């Protein structure tokens, strides 16, 4: 059931054990509170959300939106939080989205945030685990943030800037728009999604309820970066069924599934792996493998910015599997390929190119030089764009996501907030023009 009305008050607030330092600006104080709520996703779960604790933050956000005066704020049964701010009739309807879950690639909580005031460029050893350090030699972006007030975890967990920074920026945008009715805005839809980190961020989203013409995910990285191009993505599952027999009497009988599968993976191009590629270069990524003589399975991620490049990768995996089957007639080799998401650029440019043009124009109005950054991965916007809602991705200022080394800064959060408010204002002033 949706979390609405009196039921909001009946749900206890999540525990925030470390109060925000009083000198933090509002957006950073929100961020400080939100990161302390453990929302780690679970790849092995079959529920939505994959972990019930994601709803802890969802309930809080629905309640805070209602307290800000968002009359239709609520969380649905799947953990998605919706709300809206109306505008004059005929105004475009713009959506802002962020995801509440954090990656399972690093411990998700409890997060104990740390404030490192006026960073001086040195190595910072984190108090929860001195072996974890913010080191400019490892994270060169730190050198560009001397003088900033850094926020990290204590080193025992990730921070959760991906994407609680986006959540905080959207919530503060709503608060500022409500506090100042003179600020220009289009009709604004808000949505906080679940399970983005495990590729299910929009599986249960209600696009009709969102009702937007254009959307932005506030889920990017370095300040000044803007993303409207992602990989085309698929996953190949290779299964080999072999024949087991006593190894002393195996000649002419055994078909070793583990060896056959290893041969297929070894034949993938060595120069086309994640660790050997960058920029527009795609890759093959065997990320899971297991089995024995009689049965072995591997899951291989296929990534390419070009649609025909992804098809080439699919064909190669299928050809290698056929070759292995021919060389080992006693074995059974099969490949199942599942598409994950498509490069969102073609969908955005086809549906409403203003989603890109207005983003650069809004940055120019602030004196920011926006840089187009390729996403060597996917976002909720990848699938939303494919579903008909053009959704580029906006920076939050975070760095070193999915790790205990993750960090953001107070100043970066403020920069993201200023840009999102400028973007909303630009759509209010120009969104009535033809696409």
> What CATH number should be reported for the domain whose range is 232-341?
3.30.70.360
Neighbours of 361 (CB within 10 A): 16
Instruction: Please report the pLDDT score of residue 379 as a whole number.
Output: 86
Q: Taking residues 298-305, what's their average pLDDT? A: 97
> What is the rounded radius of gyration, in angstroms, for the C-alpha atoms of the chain?
24
ω into 102 cis (within 30 of 0):
no
> What CATH number should be reported for the domain whose range is 6-229+343-430?
3.40.630.10
Instruction: Please report the pLDDT score of residue 3 as a whole number.
Output: 42
Instruction: Please report the pLDDT score of residue 12 as a whole number.
Output: 62
Q: Report d(CA 299, CA 288) in Å as an integer.
A: 5
Q: Is the pLDDT of residue 327 over 70?
A: yes
Catalytic residue among 40, 101, 149, 154: 101
Catalytic residue among 154, 196, 304, 414: 196
Instruction: Please report the pLDDT score of residue 433 as a whole number.
Output: 66
Bridge partners of residue 190, in order along the sequence: 83, 96
Per the prediction, the chain carries an average pLDDT of 94
Confidence of residue 20 (pLDDT cuts 50, 70, 90): very high
Neighbours of 8 (CB within 10 A): 19
Q: Half-sphere exposure (CA, 13 Å, Cβ side) for 10?
A: 5
Q: List, for residues 96-105, the tens digit of each pLDDT value.
A: 999 999 999 9
Instruction: Please report the pLDDT score of residue 91 as a whole number.
Output: 79
| Residue extent(s) of CATH 3.30.70.360 domains in the chain | 232-341
Task: Check if 101 is active-site.
Answer: yes
Bridge partners of residue 93, in order along the sequence: 187
Bridge partners of residue 85, in order along the sequence: 188
Q: Report d(CA 359, CA 96) in Å as an integer.
A: 13
> Euclidean distance between the first and final Cα of the chain, in Å?
38
| Residue extent(s) of CATH 3.40.630.10 domains in the chain | 6-229+343-430
Run of H or E residues at 410:
helix 410-430
Task: Check if 334 is active-site.
Answer: no
Confidence of residue 5 (pLDDT cuts 50, 70, 90): very low
Confidence of residue 9 (pLDDT cuts 50, 70, 90): very low
Q: Is the pLDDT of residue 307 over 50?
A: yes
Q: List, for residues 336-380, the tens digit of each pLDDT value.
A: 999 988 999 999 999 999 999 999 999 999 999 999 999 998 889
Q: Write phi, then psi, for 421 (nearest 5 degrees).
A: -65, -35
Q: What is the spatial order of strands in the sheet that 232-241 belongs to?
A: 283-291, 295-304, 232-241, 332-341
Q: Report d(CA 133, CA 433) in Å as an integer.
A: 50
434 versus 376: the higher-pLDDT residue is 376
The structure tokens listed for 219 are 């889920």
Instruction: Please report the pLDDT score of residue 222 as a whole number.
Output: 96
Q: Exposed/middle/buried for 138, CB within 10 Å: 0-12, 13-18, 19+?
A: exposed
Give the percent of the chain with pLDDT over 90: 90
43 versus 255: the higher-pLDDT residue is 255
Q: List, for residues 388-407, the tens digit of each pLDDT value.
A: 999 999 999 999 999 999 99
Please work out, in degrees rounded to the nearest 5, the angle formed at the alpha carbon of residue 74 by the alpha carbons of 100 and 168: 35
- pTM here is 0.88
């Amino acid at each position: 059931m949706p979390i609405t009305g009196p039921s909001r008050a009946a749900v206890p607030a999540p525990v925030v054990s470390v109060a925000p330092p009083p000198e933090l600006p509002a957006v950073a104080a929100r961020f400080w509170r939100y990161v302390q709520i453990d929302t780690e996703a679970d790849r092995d779960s079959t529920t939505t959300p994959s972990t019930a604790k994601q709803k802890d933050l969802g309930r809080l956000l629905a309640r805070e939106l209602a307290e800000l005066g968002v009359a239709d704020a609520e969380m649905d049964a799947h953990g998605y939080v919706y709300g809206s701010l109306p505008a004059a009739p005929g105004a475009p309807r713009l959506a802002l989205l962020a995801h509440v879950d954090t990656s399972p690639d690093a411990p998700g909580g409890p997060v104990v945030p740390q404030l490192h005031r006026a960073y001086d460029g040195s190595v910072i050893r984190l108090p929860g685990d001195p072996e974890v350090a913010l080191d400019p030699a490892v994270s060169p972006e730190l050198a560009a943030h001397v003088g900033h007030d850094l926020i990290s975890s204590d080193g025992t967990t990730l921070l959760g800037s991906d994407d609680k920074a986006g959540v905080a920026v959207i919530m503060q945008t709503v608060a500022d728009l409500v506090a100042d009715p003179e600020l220009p805005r289009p009709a604004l839809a808000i949505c906080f999604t679940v399970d983005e980190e495990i590729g299910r961020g929009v599986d249960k989203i209600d696009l009709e309820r969102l009702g937007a013409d254009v959307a932005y995910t506030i889920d990017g990285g370095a300040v000044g970066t803007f993303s409207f191009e992602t990989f085309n993505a698929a996953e190949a599952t290779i299964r080999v069924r072999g024949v087991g027999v006593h190894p002393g009497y195996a000649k002419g009988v055994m078909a070793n599934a583990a060896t056959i599968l290893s041969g297929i993976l070894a034949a993938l191009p060595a120069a086309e792996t994640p660790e050997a590629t960058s920029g527009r270069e795609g890759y093959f990524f065997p990320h899971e493998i297991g089995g024995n003589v009689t049965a072995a399975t591997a899951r291989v991620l296929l990534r390419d910015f070009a649609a025909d490049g992804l098809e080439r990768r699919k064909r190669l995996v299928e050809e290698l599997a056929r070759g292995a089957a021919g060389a080992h007639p006693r074995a059974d080799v099969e490949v199942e390929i599942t598409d994950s998401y498509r490069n969102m650029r073609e969908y955005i440019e086809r549906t409403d190119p203003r989603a890109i043009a207005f983003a650069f124009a809004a940055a120019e109005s602030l004196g920011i030089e926006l840089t187009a950054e390729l996403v060597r991965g996917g976002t909720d916007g990848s699938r939303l764009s494919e579903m008909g809602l053009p959704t580029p991705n906006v920076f939050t200022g975070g760095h070193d996501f999915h790790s205990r080394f993750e960090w953001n800064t107070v100043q970066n959060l403020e920069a993201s907030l200023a840009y999102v408010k400028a973007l909303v204002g630009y759509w209010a002033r120009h969104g009535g023009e033809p696409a």
